[in-house]
Chains A and B, each alone.
Chain A
Amino acid sequence: MNALAFADPTFESQAAFRRIMRAMSAPGTILACGEALTPPASLARAAAAALLTLADFETPLWIAPSFPQAVADYLAFHTGAPRAAASEQAAFALVDLSVDGLDLARFASGTAEYPDRSTTIVAQASSLEVASRLRLGGPGIKGEATLAVSPLPKSFVAQWAANRAGFPLGVDLIFVADDRLAALPRSTAIVEGAR
């Protein structure tokens, strides 16, 4: 009836945390995550792993309305995270790129005193590849990294530039596709959005 989370919460969430940190510190790197999980359908395994690892009772979670109630129940039961009333108040957000699109301005970018009080968005994509769709540069990237996320709204490159312009404020992104994960922290610049 109810899907299970990590079988060994301590070690599996530490392993997932390690991979998320690696993905954040080397933007563009695609890592496997959450292979052993069986979350409800329509929630990617890597998305489940990221939220089960990061979210807890102190982090309001915003779930895009396109996700079924089963996903919200699953995350609430296993993480204890409260539902954020509005996306601007969320510490973590879950969106499905193919249904919800992505509007970075809807989420919290932190305050000058507390830039960390921003939203980390877990964006579920249908595919995630190392390909020259987005060319990334910045801390953690030697030279240049490439990442192809699909689907991605046409305005994404402009939205990301606006997000980056407010540094140190801004949102952080974790892209997931099935059991793979890549991160785009606010420090990363998109050197060139191909097309």
Chain B
Amino acid sequence: MSVVANRAGETAARRRAMALVARARRAELAAIEERWPNHGARDLKPVESGLVMLRGRIGGDGAPFNLGEATVTRAVVELATGERGFAHILGRDAKTARLAAIVDALWQREADDVETTILTPIAERLAAEAAQTRAETAATRVDFFTLVRGEDAA
């Protein structure tokens, strides 16, 4: 039971890490070249760009439909120490995809270090961007309230 729970926890943590590097900018990932100059990553599959179909649905119970295709770049690398990293990022930036895959591989080896060096800054930037969007949206909010209701008029 605890093994299963542990594995589920690991999967969730890895998923979170991969989701963060997928939205990272190249400059944010380039820090690994300074911190781990000897990662020795080699490509297991050449970095490739392709299309994925995006599925959408209107409302929580709407029928799924094909929204359109998005360009995605995939990288698969292996470190000198054997860890395998995978990354899919939106767009055609092969270098960023490769760096993201290296981060994923390094995360499996030195999770805490990668967390502080790479992931935390990305998470903070994303949170700041989300907060700003929310603030901009909140500024346009309109509150409706009732001044007089019909039954009070008597």
Contact = CB atoms under 8 A, between A and B. Distances in A.
Contacts of B82: 1
B6 to A, nearest CB: 25
Contacts of B48: 9
A8 interface: yes
B81 to A, nearest CB: 10
A135 interface: no
A116 B78 CA distance: 38
Contacts of B46: 6-9
Contacts, number: 14
A1 B78 contact: yes
Interface residues of B, number: 6
B55 interface: no
B149 interface: no
A4 B45 CA distance: 7
Contacts of A8: 46
Interface in B64-99: 78, 82
A78 interface: yes
Interface in B6-56: 44-46, 48
A57 interface: no
A155 interface: no
Nearest to A3: B44
A2 B85 CA distance: 13
Interface of A: 1-2, 4-9, 77-78
Interface of B: 44-46, 48, 78, 82
Given A1-B82, A8-B46, 5 more contacts: A2-B78, A4-B44, A7-B46, A9-B45, A78-B45
